[in-house]
Structure 1
């Protein structure tokens, strides 16, 4: 045998090595897709913004005027996607100084939506009506996105 024939006999055929490599690569890719697919599904879930709660402490000074305000404000809240959680029901103090104020709480899907409601042009007229018929304190509290129930 000549030198070239001996060298060829010692060298493995490159084609023989390719087939197992392709098979192993295909198996590895398939396994990786099974492992990472749930991770992509978790990341693909849309991130919900935290809800926004509007808390109002109200001392009514004119029942008739306040009733008009409350009706129109309720309509505006609904127009901006909010809804009431509490609306003047009985309040039981559990700590701190007693209050005469009644409480109204409503919720929006996000602070941005609560601010859109608050900055609506209709609010100027309603604020004047509110201020004539009550003493009012109001604030927005950002909720906990991870704590809130799924969107409806």
Structure 2
């Protein structure tokens, strides 16, 4: 059963964020991630505003968790530190 990352992102330092953008794809590729939504037009109906909303599908919950905790994604998160406000939730699919 698939699982999803749902992320809400506001980039505060676009130049520093490029480090994250160069590192994160390796983690996503390793764990079979598929982007369903990334940026684009959005409308917040309830809750805090974020500039970007991202939905990433993984083969299963174990892959979604493993990706987040992988060495590749840890490096990407470290590169992103101070460059964005981020909230990430992992959700089990139906």
TM-score, structure 1 normalization: 0.56
Moved over 3 A (4+): none
* Unaligned ranges ≥5, structure 2: none
Tell me: higher relative CO, structure 1 or 2? Use CA pairs within 8 A at least 6 residues apart: 2
- Of Structure 1 and Structure 2, the greater strand share is in 2
Q: Where in structure 2 are the equivalents of 1:87-106 lying within 5 Å? A: 87-93=38-44, 95-97=45-47, 99-106=49-56
Over 3 Å counting, the alpha-carbon distance change for 1:109 and 1:140 in structure 2 is same
Q: Where in structure 2 are the equivalents of 1:116-135 lying within 5 Å? A: 116-135=66-85
- Of Structure 1 and Structure 2, the greater helix share is in 1
**Larger Rg computed on CA atoms:** 1
* Unaligned ranges ≥5, structure 1: 1-49, 145-152
TM-score, structure 2 normalization: 0.87
Which residue of structure 2 lines up, in the alignment, with residue 31 of structure 1? none
Q: Name the count of aligned residue pairs.
A: 94
Q: Where in structure 2 are the equivalents of 1:1-150 lying within 5 Å? A: 50-93=1-44, 95-97=45-47, 99-144=49-94
Q: Please report the RMSD computed on the Cα atoms of aligned residues, expressed in angstroms.
A: 1.6
Q: Secondary structure at the match of 2:81?
A: helix
